[in-house]
C-alpha cells in the first residue's frame, strides 16, 4: 500500500481533509501530493513499457510492420491486431486504476494470455 509518514506515523489516506486533520499545512500537503504524483507518473511509464514488452513478445516490431503492410495472411494480420488491442486495453485499465501504485503490474493476471 502506498503510504507517507507524518510525525512518525504512517498514513495511506491522501485526501486533503484527512491531511489537514493530521495538522499538515498546505505546503506539507502539496509536498506529499507532489511526491505521489511523481511516483504515479513513473509507474505509468513502467506500465506502458511492460505493455510494449508483452506485445513484442508476441509480435516483434518487424512482425507488426509486416502485418500492417499486408505481408502476412488476413488471419495473421488479425491476430496481430487483436494482440495489440488486448494489451492496450489491459494497459489502459491499469493506467486508470486509482490503486495503481499498489498493484504489481508485472503479474500475468493483469495482461492477456
Q: What is the pLDDT of residue 54?
A: 98
* Mean pLDDT, range 39-52, rounded to an integer: 98
Where does the pLDDT of residue 68 fall: very low under 50, low under 70, confident under 90, or very high at 90 and above?
A: very high
Above 90 in pLDDT, residue 1? no
CA-based radius of gyration for the chain: 20
Above 90 in pLDDT, residue 44? yes
* Mean pLDDT, range 64-68, rounded to an integer: 94
Where does the pLDDT of residue 7 fall: very low under 50, low under 70, confident under 90, or very high at 90 and above?
A: very high
- φ, ψ (nearest 5 deg) of residue 5: -115, 130
Q: What is the pLDDT of residue 8?
A: 96
The burial class, CB within 10 Å (0-12 / 13-18 / 19+), for 95 is middle
Structural contact between residues 106 and 50, judged by C-beta atoms closer than 8 angstroms: yes
Above 90 in pLDDT, residue 23? yes
Rounded distance, CA 100 to CA 51, Å?
Answer: 15
Amino acid at each position: 500500500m502506498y503510504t507517507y509518514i507524518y510525525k512518525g506515523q504512517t498514513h495511506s489516506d491522501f485526501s486533503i481533509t484527512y491531511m489537514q486533520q493530521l495538522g499538515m499545512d498546505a505546503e506539507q500537503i502539496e509536498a506529499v501530493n507532489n511526491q505521489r504524483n511523481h511516483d504515479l507518473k513513473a509507474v505509468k511509464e513502467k506500465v506502458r513499457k511492460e505493455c510494449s514488452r508483452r506485445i513484442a513478445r508476441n509480435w516483434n516490431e518487424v512482425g507488426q510492420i509486416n502485418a500492417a503492410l499486408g505481408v502476412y495472411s488476413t488471419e495473421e494480420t488479425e491476430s496481430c491486431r487483436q494482440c495489440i488491442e488486448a494489451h492496450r486495453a489491459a494497459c489502459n485499465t491499469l493506467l486508470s486504476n486509482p490503486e495503481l501504485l499498489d498493484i504489481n503490474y508485472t503479474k500475468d493476471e493483469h495482461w492477456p494470455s
